[in-house]
Amino acid sequence: MVNSVEMRGIVKKFGTLAANNNVDFSAGKGEVHALVGENGAGKTTLMNILYGVIAPDEGSIQIDDRKVHIGNPAVAIGLGIGMVHQHFKLVPSLSVAENIVLGSEPGSRGFFDRLAAMRQVAELADRFALAIDPMATVQDLPVGLQQRVEILKMLYREAKILILDEPTAVLTPQETEELFRTVRNLTSDGKTVIFITHKLNEVMKVSDRVSVMRAGRMVATLNTSEISAAQLAEKMVGRSVLFQVQKQPSEPKEVLLEVKDLRVMSNRGLEAVRGVSLQVRAGEIVGLAGVQGNGQDELVEVLAGLRRSTAGDVLLRGSSSKDFNPRQVREAGVAYIPSDRIKVGLSLDAAIWENMLLGYHATREFNRGGLLDVGKATSFARELISRFDIRGAQVGAPVKSLSGGNQQKVVLAREFSHGRRVIIADQPSRGVDIGAIEFIHKQLVAMRDRGCGVFLISADLDEIFSLSDRILVIFHGEIMGELAARDATVEEVGRLMAGVNRRGGDVIG
């Protein structure tokens, strides 16, 4: 196999931390090469060096057997390298087409040909089966469609080396399968795809080879066909990992959360939630499955007090809460794990101890006469850091200093430690590694077993099936069906997610 990328002896330090410690990595033409490791293992740092986002302290890079210096992303793009980042690099106020062509706009004499851009993007989207409205404003799109914009932006620049950093973290199973087909089409044309992921089933399905990083070092590079997912997981984390959540059958009791005929408008003025009714009882996990953009975000925002409904009601332990603000929702006994920890769940520049108190800082436990008891707050944070195994955490350090998985643990530690009975867990394991996923799943089951009612919203069907006692499926803002998790099949849930009526086989629109 002819290598299109060779990185030799890469060293990158941030202070005393060696994010990359003498790393060698290569990927061949026409190959899907998976790069795996726990959060903080050094994967993204290595790929940011290849893309010119950061400079290595030592080491060399060769592209097509030619030694190169990649000083910035513009140089990388010129060399045919494209990267889709885990956290999107989009301009929210611009349209889909404007984001995709930004920096390479069609036109002449300094004038932007908007119609040409729309046409080119539509053709590109059609070619790669990534359907999207070129005229839509990015800030109005659900996360899954924003991911499509990032992928199309890279394809528009005709990259021959494609770096995908957690590309399926926000995709549904159907969209993931479409992406895999796209990846295989690209490699059949001789392109190289470097696939960074935490999902080992994806590694086994789509990659030809896999490289494993741990603590800044490259510990193995193997043919995917010659290793199992369990062996790969052990190489990643240095111990055996449980893929199946261990839990006893649920014993549901009183209704803690009830939604009655709820209707909610989207930011675009369209009805996103259309008459949804559901219940979550003490001692059970109710999973909501659905393709991204079918009303889940709007529904959750109403439950968390972040959006107003237009009709219907939300009852918390029998009392209406539909007009509550976020503080009132918390006081009514709700813990909220948002789907986007960066924008909603955390204040990145604030200290870890401050993030542990967000939303709870005015409670009597930490506040006396309007004054925050900092000593008690920092002591509380230290206890949670230990209990939730938040690695590398110092109470006074900014939360942005932590890896993604440990940032998510900060959110969980905060939300699970204030005695709330209702847990709204929206995409709780999005973008975190298998070790952190195992921990998060155990915590959710533990909360269920303590008598909490857990409402789980996830685009990951493996997560839905692994954790849920009951499964609801949403399509175009309506609940298409309810199934007992023990009796449900992926095929049946998939049909409901596509809008196929269980009884008549009709597509509901």
Instruction: Show the domains of the chain with their CATH numbers.
Output: 3-237 (3.40.50.300), 255-497 (3.40.50.300)
Whether the predicted pLDDT of 81 surpasses 60? yes
pLDDT at residue number 173: 66
pLDDT, tens digit, for every residue of 201-238? 889 999 999 999 988 999 999 999 999 988 888 888 77
pLDDT, tens digit, for every residue of 368-426? 777 888 888 899 999 999 988 888 888 999 999 887 778 989 999 999 988 899 999 99
> How is residue 293 written in tokens?
């953009």
Please provide residue 135's backbone torsions phi and psi, each rounded to the nearest 5 degrees. -90, -10
Whether the predicted pLDDT of 170 surpasses 80? no
Q: How far is CA 238 from CA 25, 107, 232, 233, in A?
A: 21, 54, 10, 8
pLDDT band at 459 (very low <50, low <70, confident <90, very high): confident
Q: How far is CA 352 from CA 25, 244, 394, 419, 431, in A?
A: 34, 31, 7, 20, 20
Task: Work out the average pLDDT over 137-166.
Answer: 85
pLDDT at residue number 105: 87
Looking at per-residue pLDDT, the higher value among 174 and 336 belongs to 336
Place of tokens 């230290």: 382
Average pLDDT in the chain: 89
Whether the predicted pLDDT of 507 surpasses 60? no
> How is residue 266 written in tokens?
């989207």
Whole-angstrom distance, CA of residue 256 vs CA of residue 470: 15
Residue 76, CA atoms < 13 Å, CB-side half-sphere: 23
Whole-angstrom distance, CA of residue 294 vs CA of residue 290: 7
CA 386 distance to own-chain centroid: 25
Task: Work out the average pLDDT over 139-160.
Answer: 83
Whether the predicted pLDDT of 504 surpasses 50? no
Task: Work out the average pLDDT over 240-248.
Answer: 71
* Spatial CA neighbour of 341 closest among 393, 415, 404: 404
pLDDT, tens digit, for every residue of 258-283? 999 999 999 989 999 999 999 999 99
Q: Cβ atoms within 10 A of the Cβ of 440, count?
A: 23
pLDDT, tens digit, for every residue of 2-51? 889 999 999 999 888 899 999 999 999 999 999 998 777 899 899 999 99
Please state, for a pLDDT cut of 90, what percent of the chain lies above it: 55
Whether the predicted pLDDT of 456 surpasses 70? yes
